[in-house]
Amino acid sequence: MALFREKTFPAIVIAVGLVVAGWSVGEGLKSFRQADRFLTIKGLAEQDVKSDFAIWTLSFRRAANNYDEVRRQLTDDREAVVSFLLSQGFSLADIERRPLQITDLLARDFGQQDVAFRYTGQAAVTVRSMDVDAVAKAATSIDPLIQQGVQMSQEGPMGGSPRYLLRGFNDIKPVLLEQAVKNAAEQAQKFAADAGAHLGDLRRANQGSIQILDDDGGDGYSSGQTIGKRLRVVSTFVYSLD
Q: Please give the pLDDT value at position 139.
A: 94
Q: Whose CA is closest to 125, among 76, 164, 165, 167?
A: 76
Arithmetic mean of pLDDT over the chain: 83
pTM of the model: 0.74
Question: What is the average per-residue pLDDT within 36-49?
Answer: 88
How many CB atoms are closer than 10 A to CB 42? 14
Alpha-carbon gap, residue 153 to 138, rounded angstroms = 16
pLDDT in tens, 213-236: 988 877 777 888 899 999 999 999
Q: Please give the pLDDT value at position 207.
A: 84
Chain CA centroid to CA 107, Å: 43
Does the pLDDT at position 73 exceed 70? yes
